[in-house]
Structure 1
Amino acid sequence: MHLAYRQESELRPHLPKGMQRGDVERLLVICAPRLGLTSSQLHVLLVMMHHTRPEDWTSPERDPMCFAAQSAIADDLEISPRALRAIERQLEDRGLLSRDTGAGGQRGKWGDFALGHSFAPLIERVPDLVALDAQRAAGRQRAQVLRRQLSALRRQLREKTEQLLTAVPKSPALPPLLSAMAALPRRYADLPLDRLELLRADLEVLHRHAIDAFSETERKPCRSEVDDRPHIQDTSYNDACICNVSSATKRTSGKPLDTVYSASAPNGAEAGQENKGGGYVSPHKPDLLTSFTPRALYNAASNDFRLYLDGYKRGVLPDAGTFIQAAIAILPDLGVNLSAWDEATEAMGDLAAALSVLVIDANRFHPARPIHSPGGALRAFTRKARAGTLNLAGSLIGLLERSRNGRSAA
């Protein structure tokens, strides 16, 4: 309890410019668990705040005070005055209000002298509430990113395992991989952030084991000459695999795009098929990371995108999974709603969506036509992919040319 009398010239704690009492109430509702507030304590606090004048929260000359009689507030809350007094003491102990009442519990205002409940301590805690809210929002956004990364990793793991199962059904690597896949949780929505982080790391390890096991089968000399094809990172696919590769790797006529910057696959492009995700399936046709080398794409990416690639890559150069994980991670920085990513992957597949993000991010700094709305641009790419008019290869060629010319000029 402190002396309620003050000099008129004394400046009082007040809300930052642009904030109102309602903003504090919203923060309290959101941050109550982190403040250790029970539902009863929060309810009492909000009711008492409603008995203050809204303008006193923003005035540097007055404290927001609750002058309502204790019996009246207890009646509003349908609790006993004794229970109310106990909660008031708890709120004071948490530094959310200060109690200034007369000996008989009197409350009121007489000139510059006031008796009641002051919320000046709560105003001083507002920066802490804002920080807690920002932390909560960042955690929620991080969880949303992790769920998309987990889904992408799970698809890649399934695809690589299917390739291994088709190529070497008795591979000793298969039983532990299949067992680990069966133990994965079906849903991620209810998992806490730390569990999502651990699960992403575990899935990454499993995916790497599947890649290594499949690569080992390709290096064995006992394979037939027909099946023996040069291994290009993890982009060579077996006839029986099911994968998501971009419809953007086709011309509008449905034919595969000519490869650029590297040679065609040994057996040439073959007829493919459309799967549920809108991806193009071809067992021997090079994918986007064969047509456009990872080194060239890495050099053409923005500095921000390269930072994410460096964080996720496991070797000297990024692979398809690295581009996908980095693209998902950078979306919040670009202000792209994650629903736009979901639509893009459904329309064109994970890898094409990731390289679309790479192009869009790099073109924010285009010398003539910079992209100001990455989210709008990604949705535009998605619409074109659905219509069969997306020329992602052309966009990548333009980006690589600009990157190469920039390095030459430097």
Structure 2
Amino acid sequence: MHVPQSLPARRCEAVKPTLPRGMERDGFVALVDAVASCLGVGAAAMMTFRTMIASTRPSAFKCGVDEPCCYLSQNEIAHKRGVTACRIRQHEAALVRAGLIEKRTMANGARSGFSGCGVFFGVAIARVEEFLSLRDEIEADRRAHARLRGQRSSHKRHLKGILRELVGCHRLAAEVERIHQNFAGWPSGQALHRMSLEELQNHEAEAEALTISASNLLHETHDRSLDNERSHIQDTTQDSNEVPCNDHNDTRSVGKPTRSTVSGPQPSGRVRCLERQDGVASEAHKSKFIQKLGCDRLYGLCSEEMKMWLDIERQKRGRLDFHSFVIAAQKRLPELGIHQSAWDEAVGVLEEDAAMLCVLITDAKVADPEITILSAGAYLRGMVRAQRTGSLNIMGSLIGLNERSRRR
């Protein structure tokens, strides 16, 4: 007669949650640390979390047999942390509410490895995928926040320059005073860091609207288009080795002259660059090209993706001006995979106008199937390094883009 095996003997031990391949205990702690604030866990409670998890066996996070557990008593944890046991109880309660630990203790609250009682981390391990997605969202918001701060800084520089030009127009004194008062109420750069993403989005939109309003007011005071009045890329010095990006009489901060040498190699940036194949144009050709280059022609040198952002700016403003290109370039950065720090470095070394041209050139080359650029960010940083050594050739690159656009 067949005797069935008893149920306890057939029962399989449940597999415990484990970390995904490639993640170890320390990486898991770093992940939790990155999302802790969104889970309502403060810095002090996270220090207690790290203290407890440090007492576990790293292998327990990977094997799926034993669930990682801290058997230390609250008094022992308090001693390691240098705080009271009462504070540890508060931290543990916060960690339980956040779903980062599970407490399984004896009736008297005791913890023991022999009885399998303590603070367990399986509930947090089971949420790793959730935490990874949350960390990605946090990082995306952080990058968006940095981009918005950069755009607000551009609006501020541009508006300060416009106000300097408008201040002498007495017939517009009331309107200029209104713009100046609104501008004076803008929060400082430090205050921007304390804003939520939504608050910063609203402020940046208001700052852009005020800047556009002031720009339109300035535009109306001139007899001809701002685009025709001042070529933003002119050879005003007749010096082939220096290319100011603006008229030397323009005192606006957004239009400060930016000098780049016309001779010398372009940065390699791990790129199969065709710039050298364009040939060396005559100085007369360069001067003629520079003088004729305005916003419309610059628009024609842009990639289709950059043109999309410029079309949005044109719709907002009713026309394109140089500031439109600066804002469009900043909005292309994340799409190109260029970190905000690369733009900040470029602005610091080249000033904003030339930094924009570098992004425009990088973007156009990335879009060109005949050119291979492995990293747009590396290429932009290479241009900044070339500027530091005096070998940056912005105008040569623009001429190269122009020649290639004619051949298409």
Correspondence 1:19 to 2:29 = no
Q: Structure 2 unaligned segments of length 5 or more: list them.
A: 1-9, 259-286
Counterpart residue type for residue 225 of structure 2: H
Answer with 66-75 or 155-164: which moved more. 66-75
Q: TM-score with structure 1 length normalisation?
A: 0.74
Residues of 2 paired with 1:385 and 1:278: CA distance? Answer: 18
Which residue, 354, 357, 371 being the options, matches 2:356?
A: 354
Does the 8 Å contact 2:158/2:252 carry over to 1?
no
Residues of 2 paired with 1:278 and 1:211: CA distance? Answer: 14
Residues of 1 paired with 2:360 and 2:388: CA distance? Answer: 19
Residues of 2 paired with 1:154 and 1:119: CA distance? Answer: 49
Does the 8 Å contact 1:153/1:204 carry over to 2?
yes
User: How far 1:153 moved relative to its partner?
Assistant: 1.3
Alignment of 1:188-227 (within 5 A): 188=190, 189-192=192-195, 193-219=197-223
Question: Could you tell me the percent identity over the aligned residues?
Answer: 28
Residues of 2 paired with 1:151 and 1:87: CA distance? Answer: 40
Q: TM-score with structure 2 length normalisation?
A: 0.75
Alignment of 1:261-410 (within 5 A): 279-280=256-257, 291-313=292-314, 314-315=316-317, 318-385=320-387, 389-406=391-408
User: How far 1:349 moved relative to its partner?
Assistant: 3.6
| 1:131-172 CA-partner distances (Å, limit 9, x unpaired) | 332233222222222222122211211222222234x23314
Name the count of aligned residue pairs: 367
Residues of 2 paired with 1:287 and 1:160: CA distance? Answer: 28
Correspondence 1:231 to 2:225 = yes
Answer with 172-181 or 389-398: which moved more. 389-398
Structure 2 equivalent of residue 223 of structure 1: none
User: How far 1:13 moved relative to its partner?
Assistant: 0.9
Greater per-residue helix proportion: 2
Change (3 A) 1:80 1:148: closer
Counterpart residue type for residue 362 of structure 2: I
Does the 8 Å contact 1:278/1:346 carry over to 2?
no
User: How far 1:56 moved relative to its partner?
Assistant: 0.8
Alignment of 1:53-64 (within 5 A): 53-64=57-68
Residues of 1 paired with 2:355 and 2:107: CA distance? Answer: 70
Structure 2 equivalent of residue 139 of structure 1: 141
Change (3 A) 1:86 1:377: closer
Correspondence 1:32 to 2:9 = no
Does the 8 Å contact 1:92/1:98 carry over to 2?
yes
Does the 8 Å contact 2:234/2:290 carry over to 1?
no
Q: Structure 1 unaligned segments of length 5 or more: list them.
A: 1-5, 220-229, 238-243, 260-268
Counterpart residue type for residue 331 of structure 2: A
Which residue, 99, 118, 121 being the options, matches 1:119?
A: 121
Counterpart residue type for residue 50 of structure 2: L
Residues of 2 paired with 1:328 and 1:143: CA distance? Answer: 13
Counterpart residue type for residue 309 of structure 2: Y
Does the 8 Å contact 1:246/1:352 carry over to 2?
no
Residues of 1 paired with 2:290 and 2:198: CA distance? Answer: 32
Does the 8 Å contact 2:34/2:135 carry over to 1?
yes
| 1:353-388 CA-partner distances (Å, limit 9, x unpaired) | 212201111212434442223233323433444666
User: How far 1:121 moved relative to its partner?
Assistant: 0.3
Counterpart residue type for residue 360 of structure 1: T
Q: CA RMSD in A?
A: 3.8
Structure 1 equivalent of residue 273 of structure 2: none
Does the 8 Å contact 1:100/1:115 carry over to 2?
yes
Does the 8 Å contact 1:248/1:391 carry over to 2?
no
Residues of 2 paired with 1:351 and 1:28: CA distance? Answer: 41
Residues of 1 paired with 2:254 and 2:217: CA distance? Answer: 26
Structure 1 equivalent of residue 263 of structure 2: none
Structure 1 equivalent of residue 178 of structure 2: 176
Change (3 A) 1:250 1:368: farther
Does the 8 Å contact 1:348/1:385 carry over to 2?
yes
Change (3 A) 1:350 1:61: same
Change (3 A) 1:218 1:26: same
SS of aligned partner of 1:62: coil
Change (3 A) 1:311 1:125: farther
Does the 8 Å contact 2:67/2:122 carry over to 1?
yes
Which residue, 156, 159, 171 being the options, matches 1:157?
A: 159
Counterpart residue type for residue 397 of structure 1: I
